[in-house]
Structures are given as structure tokens and as C-alpha cells.
Amino acid sequence: MSVNTKNNPTEKMRYIVLTGLFSALIFIFTACLHIPSGSGFTHAGDGILYLAACILPVPYAVTAGIIGGTLADGLSGFPVWIPATIAVKALTALFFTNKSAKILTFRNICGIVPSLAVCIAGYTLYEGTVLAKGFSTSALIAAAAQIPSYCVQILASTVLFIITAAALDKADFRRKFRL
């Protein structure tokens, strides 16, 4: 359900407003509702990013993920993670589609699997190389200790996504808001 916003300023404004709303929700579900774990925190904010990516066109969904995630990192005392978050959240948004009348589709549920892989690989490699100031096998092994936390994070995000997407589909959200 892609809409050409170049010739329709109302549609463009709708997407900008929704991008801001999703950015704020991602921030809240990441920074305000998290559990400290290892060198960061575990949260369900990715579930909101999945929703954004299923509702908004790709550039807007990527923007919402980056803004919400980086604000959460920076304002929660973890600004060192911002570069990794930019890459991970931008890639995560690409695994979902907004081209269906429904939010909760088989493709969007399947998008969770590569999202988990990007989360694990992105943050583990970042911690094990960039934060370690160079490649180190022992730093990568130590960073891998966070993998269970990433799995819990994606599980919590998946539950949030499925419940919210099902409710929005039942309310016929996309049709009512012409998205």
C-alpha cells in the first residue's frame, strides 16, 4: 500500500507525524521499559519498530527506528552504542513490508528471524571489535555472552508486535487511516 508522497503533501505530513509517533514509542519501550543486562539493556522497543516497518514506507520506518533507538541509547547513559544502533535498527526495518492490507502477515512474522540475526551479529561484533578497540577473539567471546539477552529482547518484541498487530488488524487500522 505504498503511497507517492511527492505530489501529496497531506500524505507526506501524515507519514512524518507517524514517524515522530513511532520514534517516541520506540524510545519509551526501549529506554523507559527495559531491564539492565550485561553492558546494555533488554527491551521490547523492537516490537514497535516492527510495527512501524509494517505501516510506514521504508525511509520513514528506518528513520523512526534510528531516532527512537539512538535517543534511548543516548538518554539512558549508553551513547557508546549509538553507531551500532543506527546500523541495526536501519537494517531491521528492511525485513518487514507495508505493502499488505494487513499488518500481521506471514512475511512480517518471518521478518523477525533475520531481525534476530542482525541484532545478535551487529551488537556482538560491535562490542567485540569496536568497543574492544580492535579485533580480539576473547572480546568477541565475551561479547557473545550477551546473546541470551538479545534473544529475550527479540522474544519480548515479538510478543508485543504480534499482540499489537493483531489488535490493529482487527480494528482495521490501515484502512481507517488510509495507510
**Model confidence pLDDT, tens digit, residues 111-148:** 999 999 999 999 999 999 998 998 889 999 999 999 99
**Model confidence pLDDT, tens digit, residues 35-54:** 877 666 789 999 999 999 99
pLDDT for res 6:
67
pLDDT exceeds cutoff 60 at 2:
no
pLDDT for res 1:
47
H/E stretch holding 176 reads helix 173-176
How far apart are alpha carbons 131 and 170 in whole angstroms? 44
pLDDT for res 5:
62
**Model confidence pLDDT, tens digit, residues 89-104:** 999 999 999 999 999 9
pLDDT for res 21:
98
> Rounded to a whole number, what is the largest CA-CA distance in the chain?
54
pLDDT for res 165:
98
